[in-house]
Amino acid sequence: MNRRTALLGAASALAAIAALAGAAAAQDDDFPQKPITLIVPSAPGGSTDVTARKTAELMGEHLGVTIVVENRPGGGTLIGSRHVAQSDPDGYTLLAQSSAVSMFPFTFRDPGVSLDDLRPIGVMLRQANVFSVGQASEFTSMADLIAHSEAHPEDLTFGTGGPASPISYTVEMFKHASGANLSPVQYKGAGDTFPDVIAGRVTMVSSGYSGQSGFYEQGQLRPLAVSGPERIASLPDVPTLREVGVPLDVSVWLGIFAVAGTPDPVVAKLSGALQYALEDEARRAEIIEQGGDPAFLAPEEFEALLAREAETFRELADVTGIEPQ
């Protein structure tokens, strides 16, 4: 082979690469061309599942393709999350996740998937946590509860949906920030705690507004504080934790992730679809009615939120000495 043909070969190889790149770019422009799969790493019927299905419907409408919601539960959301992390970074496999994903490094010894494997698209829903007690409870304010706990540190309990659940972390953060002491009583999910909290066997529960709201009207649950940065429209009389002197604001979010390395144009399109879903009037009204915040977050804003949260969890893990499994 002489020099000339070698050069030619190199040139044609370069041309081929350029053509491929062009084709890839064109493909990104054409995204999406086939149905998208949104993996829900928990069982059907849970809050992630319900939110994902509603959002996927609207996003699909905007993108002109079907978004298929697929449940892959198990391993404390690890199985579904790993599945997405190992998929092609083409935007056709997405993950619906909660702050559980930020906690992986602290809850699992060998999670096999982390935020670095995922590319944040945005949040489907942000929701304040509501701290509530049962109808017969002696506590009518968060200050009462904290004061009681200081006098009788062994007395109070809180219901949680499992030792490594986001709820459990929220209450641990609350304990750390308020100085109150409550022992965790473990259930299989936040909803299972309600009978014992309502009947007064367990002191307090902290969970998303939408799960609790059905119990407010007849007074089975009494909300004492919300954990968000400001009061929520549906509970105008309930103060935030900051207002009652507990320096903490955490909100629960449910977000959508693509695989790390997904091209920017694809991310932009998915983010646009998410914005469309959040700006849908009916959906927006529904989110607000359920005590949620429908504000749209651009991928970069979501990324910043995740970074702040990771920092909080790292501090908490240091303070509480939570051991990964």
Partner 1 sequence: MDMLANVALGLETALMPVNLAYCLLGVFLGIVVGVIPGIGALATMSMLIPMTFVMEPASALIMLAGIYYGSCFGSSVSAILINIPGAPHSAVTCLDGNPMARSGRAGVALFMASIASFAGGSLGIVVLMAFAPALGKFALQIGPAEYFSLVLLGMVASSAIGSGSMLKSLAMAAAGIWLGLIGTDPNTGSYRYTFGALELTGGVHLIALAMGFFGVTEVICSIGRLSLSHVTPGKVNFRSMLPTREDLRRSAGPILRGTGLGAFFGALPGTGPTVAAYISYAVELRVTKTRARFGKGAVEGVVAPEAANNAADQTSFIPTLSLGIPGSATMVLLLAALIIQGITPGPTLVANHPDIFWGLVMSFWVGNILLVVMNIGLIGFWVRLLLIPYRYLYPAILMFVCVGTYSIAASPFDVWLMLLFGVAGAFMRLAGLSPTSLLLGFILGPMLEENFRRAMVISRGDFAYFVEQPISAAILAATAMIVLFGAWSSVRSARALRTA
- Contact positions toward partner 1, by CB under 8 A? 43-46, 49-50, 53-54, 57, 69-76, 78-79, 107, 154, 157, 162-164, 183-188, 191-192, 194-196, 198-199, 201-202, 210, 213-215, 217-218, 220, 286, 290, 325
Provide, rounded to whole angstroms, the least separation between the CB of residue 2 and partner 1: 55
- Cα gap 161→2, rounded to integer Å: 71
Question: In this structure, are residues 114 and 260 in contact, taking their beta carbons and an 8 Å threshold?
Answer: no
Closer residue to partner 1 in complex, CB, 74/261: 74
Q: How far is CA 66 from the centre of its chain?
A: 23
Closer residue to partner 1 in complex, CB, 249/286: 286
| Residue 254: closest CA among 47, 11, 59 | 47
Provide, rounded to whole angstroms, the least separation between the CB of residue 196 and partner 1: 6
Closer residue to partner 1 in complex, CB, 111/299: 111
Provide, rounded to whole angstroms, the least separation between the CB of residue 36 and partner 1: 15
CA distances from 277 to 1, 57, 195, 259, 295 (A): 59, 8, 35, 21, 11
Closer residue to partner 1 in complex, CB, 69/238: 69
CA distances from 15 to 2, 23, 159 (A): 20, 12, 63
Closer residue to partner 1 in complex, CB, 7/199: 199
Provide, rounded to whole angstroms, the least separation between the CB of residue 325 and partner 1: 6
Q: Which residues of 97-118 are buried (b: 16+ CB within 10 A; e: fewer)?
A: bbbbbbbbbbbbeebebbbebb
Provide, rounded to whole angstroms, the least separation between the CB of residue 303 and partner 1: 27
